[in-house]
Structure 1
């Protein structure tokens, strides 16, 4: 993928994280073009098949959760799963698994930190997109170093 591609991916993940923390949503203008860009670059670097499989697999898992519990996971997370699944898939199954397992763990940890005693738990929401982005960046960093 090269350093330029990795730099672009980091900027994309950072933009998604900031947007989701501020707005509590992931816009199509960032999720879908990012996923397409990851898939195109992966295809050009001969990682297209593993990227496509990674993206489809993670998006399918997230779609299943979204269909079972729509309030627990938004459609933006499903769309982001295509891009981050493709990005980690391009770097191999180890990166994919680290990110796929790491994201829910990070969200759970974040939730525990904000759910202090005495707070109305029904009003507390934790966006999942930032955890997906951080887990993806960490997974890729782990496998390229």
Structure 2
């Protein structure tokens, strides 16, 4: 799967979530399927599947406990991003999984300091953390 295609997918997800405060199935589900297909074809299917299931499970649990704080779109996005980061190893997966809530917290704090109230979308932080974690692997010499 091309870096450009993944980058465009992440940018589309980010823009959509910021503009509409939701992540549509039309973007989340096909992306997850394509990433899992790429992972299987490149011999990284098992780690990608494990990453997808683990991140999906964690996000589903949080959504079930507090649906107002984490939407179903974020849960579905976790499938694709968990697969993407899982395909590159547990350390990449962990960095993205921990980085996303930290980025959301920083964004929420900055918004509050600037006088904005209310929740901030979590999808952009998920995309940014995943992109950064994968980029660290791809740019290593």
Coarse TM-score class (shorter-chain normalised): over 0.9
1:73, 1:107 → 2: CA distance?
Answer: 11
Q: Deviations over 1:37-82 (max 9, x none)?
A: 0000000000000000000100000000000000000000000000
1:40, 1:120 → 2: CA distance?
Answer: 40
Matching residue within 68, 83, 105 for 1:86: 83
Q: Does the 8 Å CA contact 1:94/1:143 hold for their aligned counterparts?
A: no
The TM-score, its normalising length taken from structure 1, stands at: 0.92
Query: 1:1-145 counterparts in 2 under 5 A?
Result: 1=1, 5-116=2-113, 119=115, 121=117, 124-145=118-139
Where do 5+ consecutive residues of structure 2 fail to align?
A: none
Where do 5+ consecutive residues of structure 1 fail to align?
A: none
1:94, 1:84 → 2: CA distance?
Answer: 14
SS for the counterpart of 2:39 is: helix
